[in-house]
Each structure stands twice: as C-alpha cells, then as structure tokens.
C-alpha cells in the first residue's frame, strides 16, 4: 500500500502555481465565474517611493 505524508518546507517547487491553477479551474467549473484577477494598488510620493499599498484579488464581482 502506498503511503501519503506531509512535507513541511520553505521551498515552493511550483506548489503555489499548481494550487492556483487547480483551485481556479474548480471554482470556474462550479460557479461559471472566470473573471478572477490580481488587484494591486500603490500610493507613491513624487520620488516614486512607496507610501502605502494594497494587494488582493477580485473574482465574481467581489474583492478581497
């Protein structure tokens, strides 16, 4: 019998991209919404230095 185990690491090895792809495909197939995207907002001063920022995503008419 094959065994399954947890691997805890600080190395990604493509995990994030795979989860994003598979979760987004499942959500789109289940809900019909395919409009997900990243949302990045930056406030910069005259020199271009970051003063404030917001990072999140939008999907199905919502944002987080």
Please check whether residue 46 lies inside any domain of the structure.
Answer: yes
The predicted pLDDT at position 2 comes to 84
The distance between the two most distant Cα atoms of the chain, rounded to a whole number of Å, is: 63
Please check whether residue 49 lies inside any domain of the structure.
Answer: yes
Please check whether residue 52 lies inside any domain of the structure.
Answer: yes
Please check whether residue 56 lies inside any domain of the structure.
Answer: yes
Which of 13, 36, 39 shows the shortest CA–CA distance to 24? Answer: 36
Q: What is the pTM of this model?
A: 0.64
10 touches 17 (CB < 8 A): no
Please check whether residue 43 lies inside any domain of the structure.
Answer: yes
Q: Tens of pLDDT along 37-61? A: 899 999 999 999 999 999 999 999 8
Please check whether residue 26 lies inside any domain of the structure.
Answer: no
C-alpha span between 15 and 3 (Å, rounded) = 20
Please check whether residue 44 lies inside any domain of the structure.
Answer: yes
Please check whether residue 8 lies inside any domain of the structure.
Answer: no
Query: Which residues constitute the domain of residue 57?
Result: 35-64
Q: How many domains in the chain?
A: 1
- Strand positions, DSSP E, 1-64: 37-44, 50-59, 62-63
């Amino acid at each position: 019998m094959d065994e399954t185990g947890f691997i805890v690491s600080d190395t990604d090895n493509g995990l994030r991209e795979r989860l994003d792809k598979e979760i987004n495909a499942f959500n789109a197939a289940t809900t019909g919404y395919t409009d997900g995207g990243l949302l990045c907002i930056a406030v910069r001063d005259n020199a271009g230095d970051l003063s404030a920022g917001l990072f999140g995503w939008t999907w199905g008419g919502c944002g987080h």
